[in-house]
Structure 1
């Protein structure tokens, strides 16, 4: 028996979101607008944070990393969707499909880890404010982000290598707009028990552990806010994590809808629509959520835009 099973299928066909020509034109326009908004919004966040010295704090350091991940996340799927619509081709190579799956795994994990790290940052800032500068040093922040990248890369590599061991010798049609792990496993003619076991055990731990950390952090944060004697002080404390909490609800809400809801309510159409939310819509909305609810960030964005306006003149 060879160490690596070779697939007899050289490419897959991504059905996308619709087969109707008129709907495809509308979807192309919507995806293009959302992608441009995602890239522009997140790059503005990164530029605003990097150019304003007042925002050189752990919270905004993590936010700039989240914005970078969101740009990469959206770029993993949307350009391929747009290219398929323009070229009227649904094909993606076997290696291209595995590469796309690897980056989707990796960047989903990074979103997951960064949201947990940001929750921990808010926990320290609100519950232990006197020790914040000593606990959340630049070195600690870099180590948290670097550790997240390493863990996400190893997890994604594990699932990609396991998928590469499978054989695909029958149907090659993926009822999705990108190479997601679930439809790929359904197409395999090999034994997928190991892949499924790793998703349900190691994969579940990777996703659930940060979510539990976020819940615990916000339990302590809520308790600390309720114990603040000043109503104004309580509002100010909660406003610093309100944007993060909104993004957490949006991200995990769509993940739960796709992967953790009862199988009886699943359908390819519903799963695809829910997947669009966390792969395309959530990265687009994150900059708006953070900028609209954050006075310092809004001020930095105004300065950045006005500086660009005057430089053009």
Structure 2
């Protein structure tokens, strides 16, 4: 943080996050809403990760990538919501220059990583449905770890250079960020130096992460649908569709909100952008574990098994207490 503030030669040492100006007297209500969303998101995603770790029936490539996505969603929402809740509760909307850049960096990196991870999950479904005989051989545990490592490191690498250029810009004032978090577009509007290089790098990184992932995912699902419609039995088609339905819903939610947010003319940052950012920054991480758990029999069975086991343990403990009393 101090290093970023030292490198930057601007007079601005902190930013004021405008937040939600349309709700001036609803700070505590908004705090409760975001607190509930954050608690539910973190707990549900931790549940998914725990189930995948504990239940041996979930030790497969698909659930390995789902647990990676759950871990990512925890970091994604944790990069913004805690700071937002503190500002709503204390009515203090200021954030240091270093804190703002750090939030921008992690939020952007995790967003880029999610793009790559969703494309990787589409590839996993493509192999499972289009090349089932090669699936186990190709998607070994070592290969899954390598692919996950590539998606995480790739997401952070793609975003690092443009964020560094943004951090090196001069900010002379005003320092009011027209958003509820530190995001690239409103920050670039506040800079008093030439932002053309930063904008070009940011556009290139966003295009690389999003467009490449979208095209790859669309190609994978085109092949999947082509293979499914070649299956003669209706029951076989339903089973094949059910294995990728949850991922397709998650992909549609994420890419739709991201495209609405970023594929619009520059300088149109408005209240609509806040709504879209709330959707892909808060709502999508909240919905993902429920989409996977509600539509997935294996996860539901694993959860029921764990709950029944805990009930049996608690019943045994009660019985032991009664006996020894």
> Shared topology, TM-score over 0.5?
yes
1:296 paired with 2:298, answer: yes
Higher normalized contact order (CA 8 Å, seq sep 6+, divided by chain length) = 1
Q: 1:233 aligns with which of 223, 231, 236?
A: 236
User: Is 1:137 the counterpart of 2:153 in the alignment?
Assistant: no
Name the counterpart of 1:74: 77
1:174-206 deviation per Cα after TM superposition (whole angstroms, max 9, x unaligned): 111110000000000010000111122233112
* 1:149-298 superposed matches below 5 A: 149-262=152-265, 266-298=268-300
Counterpart CA distance in 1 for 2:23 and 2:91 is 12
**Aligned CA distance change for structure 1 residues 130 and 173 (closer, same or farther; 3 Å):** same
> Please, what TM-score do these two structures have when normalized by structure 1?
0.95
Structure 2 residues without counterparts, runs of 5 or longer: 1-5, 316-325
Is the partner of 2:26 in helix, strand or coil? helix
3-state SS of 2:274 partner = helix
For 1:176 and 1:302, the matched residues in 2 are separated by: 41
Aligned-residue offset at 1:4? 5.0
Helix, strand or coil: the match of 2:200? helix
Comparing 12-21 and 269-278, the one that deviates more: 12-21
Rate the CA distance shift 1:175–1:238 in 2: closer, same or farther, 3 A. same
- Cα distance change of structure 1 residues 90 and 229 upon mapping to structure 2, 3 Å threshold: same
Within 5 Å, which residues of 2 pair with 1:23-34? Answer: 23-34=26-37
Q: CA-to-partner distance for each residue in 1:250-297, whole Å, 9 max, x for gaps? A: 000100111113569x45110011000000000000001000110011
Q: For each residue in 1:132-190, what CA deviation from the matched residue of structure 2 results, as whole angstroms up to 9, or x when unmatched?
A: 01111111111111111111122222122111110000110011111000000000001
Structure showing greater radius of gyration is: 2
Structure 1 segment 75-94 matched on structure 2, within 5 A: 75-94=78-97
Of 227-236 and 197-206, deviating more is 197-206
Q: CA deviation at 1:103?
A: 0.2
List gaps (5 residues or longer) in structure 1. Answer: none
In 2, distance between residues paired with 1:281 and 1:191?
A: 35
Structure 1 residues 90, 218: CA separation in 2 closer, same or farther (over 3 Å shift)?
same
TM-score normalised by L of structure 2: 0.92
In structure 2, how many angstroms separate the alpha carbons of the residues matched to 1:309 and 1:30? 31
